[in-house]
Chains A and B, each alone.
Chain A
C-alpha cells in the first residue's frame, strides 16, 4: 500500500535558525497537504499542493512539491518559539481527496 515517510523524526533548533522537513511517498500523489499539530492539540491544516514543481509561501514557511509528485518539503525561515509542534505531510493518490495517508511527522523544538 501507499507509504509516506518523513525525515527527520525530530529537529531541535535555536530560535532564529532555519528548519526543513522532507516528505517522501512510495507512490505518485495527486496532491499533498501539510498539517501542524501543537503539543496536546489536533492537526491543523496549513496548505495543499497540487501541481508538479509547485512552490507556495506563507510568511516564513515555504512549501514545495516535487516534479515527480512523490516528494515534498516544508522550510521555515528564522524559526520562532511559536513554530514548536509536529509537522505532518498527508498525501492523496486520487483527485477526490479521499483517504489521505499521513506521514509520521517531524517534531520541531525551538530553543529560545
Chain B
C-alpha cells in the first residue's frame, strides 16, 4: 500500500500525559498537512510542511502542540499535557505541492481519546 500511513490508529491517554503520532506520506509528496476532525465537523487545519520546513501553523493551535518533519519524509505530531478537549481524529494528508494543482491524500487518521 503506497498511501498515507498513520500510527497508531487509536490512542487512549489520561489527561496530562504527552502523546505522539506519526505520519508517513506518499513517498514522492513534498507537502504534508496535519488536520484535526471532531464528530460532525470538517477537518480543521493545524499545520503544514513543505519538505522539512514548517511553513504555516494555525493561530488556533495551542503551544502544547508541536510538529516536526526532520528529513522531509515522515512527520510527528506531539501533544503535551493533553486535555479532554484534545480528543479528536488527527488526520495527516500529503500532496505533490508546486502550485494550485493541489490534491490532498489523507491517511486513515489517529483517533485520540483523553480520559
Contact = CB atoms under 8 A, between A and B. Distances in A.
Give the interface size bracket for B toward A: 20 to 34
Interface string A41-58: 111110010100000000
B74 interface: no
A103 B42 contact: yes
A25 interface: no
A98 B104 CA distance: 11
Contact of B100 (A44, A96, A105): A96
Interface of B is mostly: loop
B48 interface: yes
B103 interface: yes
Give the interface size bracket for A toward B: 20 to 34
Interface of B: 35, 40-45, 48, 55-56, 59, 91, 95, 97, 99-109
